[in-house]
Amino acid sequence: MDAGMLVSPTMLAIWNVIKANQLLLIVIFVVFLVAAKKLFNILMSSITIAIISALFPFFLNKIGFSMPTDFNTILYFMILGVALYIIYHIIRGIFKIGKLFK
């Protein structure tokens, strides 16, 4: 564009809308990346919790308790461990939101 050429107000308004949309898309993309990273971390932690929970019946047997180590028992403790971990994250999130409004 030549420096002496004037830009119409309509073209300037369209250009400003395009820039605003690009900025909004960049902000949404950054929020998406942060949320995806947080979700990935929670997923990896949940897998770790599930593995540790699956080992719990074997630990109980090792210290003298009589606990079956069949598939159902292991699955039960895995689900229980992940469920408690998710409940913990929900409660922790509620407390964090509550602190924001104090």
Per DSSP, the three-state class of 87 is helix
Position 5 scores a pLDDT of 57
Which residue carries 């292991």 as its tokens?
74
Q: What is the pTM of this model?
A: 0.68
Structure tokens at 16: 């400003």
Residue in 75, 77, 78, 56 with CA at minimum distance from that of residue 65: 56
Q: Phi first, then psi: what are they for 101, rounded to 5°?
A: -100, 10
Domain ranges of the chain: 9-100
pLDDT means per 10 residues in the chain (102 residues)? 62 76 85 94 95 96 92 96 94 88 76
Q: Can you tell me the distance from the alpha carbon of 74 to that of 79, in angstroms, rounded to the nearest whole number?
A: 9
Query: Rounded to 10 degrees, what is the CA torsion of 44, 46, 51, 57?
Result: 170
Alpha-helix residue ranges (DSSP H) falling in the chain: 9-62, 71-100
DSSP summary character for residue 7: P
Which residue carries 């408690």 as its tokens?
84
